[in-house]
Structure 1
Amino acid sequence: MNATGTPTTPITFEPGDRIRFGLEPRRPYTVRATSEHFVVCTRQRDFAPKGDVVYTVIDWRNGIRGPINVIGQSCDVRTDEQCQLLVADLDAGRWTISHRNRVQLDILDRGQS
């Protein structure tokens, strides 16, 4: 999709909060880890065994979200610790959001779990 966004004022999220995005309104994500600039969210993968999740990363500085820029966009985010490591790597600049698979930030609503 290669979307470009605009810097967005961060919303305070806590792990466990739920977010719905405009492109996936019926598939809420759960916040797993946060930092000043990034939020890692996961949801159960459709039609997959329990625990098989998909993820998206919110980038407040660029007003975008998407997977990270690795081949296949795969990243192990099954545990909270792995999500926190991903946020730390994003903050350190070791990873960025995929240029090919990013979308503009499209938060519909949020709620506590």
Structure 2
Amino acid sequence: MSKILTTPANAEVGQKVRVDDARKTWTVQAVSKNFTVLVQQAPFEPKGTLQYTVLDWHNNDRGPCNLIGQGYGDGTYSPSECARMLAEFERGDLEVSHRNHVPFTRVEVTA
């Protein structure tokens, strides 16, 4: 039986998760009180190029941050960079993009 995450407190850095019924899995890269950053290989990009999404557990939305271009930092999405991003989310300096957000209902640990 798989484990379903219901709050960021249940998430651990390094876990592989599936959001809703998506085919591809994500890796938990950073966790804060209200948010979680997930990363995965970016499609059609060289190996090691990551894309990210932020889970907003309070609003059950996910998506990129609301900065112009929607990237963050140097684009490596390392654990420390993602932790800095989440600190900005917690302070209210960043939020999930209103334009490119997707609601989520289920986050399942796969490994």
Q: Fold conserved (TM > 0.5)?
A: yes
CA distance, structure 2, for counterparts of residue 108 and residue 82 of structure 1: 23
When the two structures are aligned, how many residues end up with a matched partner?
A: 103
Residues 68 and 95 in structure 1, CA contact (< 8 A), matched pair in contact too: yes
Contact 1:55 1:77 in 2 (8 A): no
Instruction: Tell me what 1:4 maps to.
Output: none
Q: Which amino acid aligns with 1:70?
A: L
Alpha-carbon deviation of 1:77?
4.4
Normalising by the residue count of structure 1, what TM-score does the alignment of the two structures yield?
A: 0.82
Give yes or no for the alignment of 1:93 onto 2:111: no
Q: Are 1:57 and 2:51 counterparts?
A: no
C-alpha change, 1:77 and 1:37, in structure 2 (3 Å) is farther
| SS of residue in 2 equivalent to 1:71 | coil
- For 1:15 and 1:108, how far apart are their aligned partners in 2? 14
Structure 2: tracts of 5 or more residues without a match: 1-5
**Do structure 1's residue 78 and structure 2's residue 100 form an aligned pair?**
no
TM-score between both structures, scaled by the size of structure 2: 0.84
CA distance in 2 between partners of 1:109 and 1:42 (Å): 15
Q: Which runs of 4+ in 1 moved over 6 A?
A: none
Instruction: Name structure 1 gaps, 5 residues minimum.
Output: 1-8
CA RMSD for the aligned pairs? 1.6
2:60 matched to 1:67?
A: no
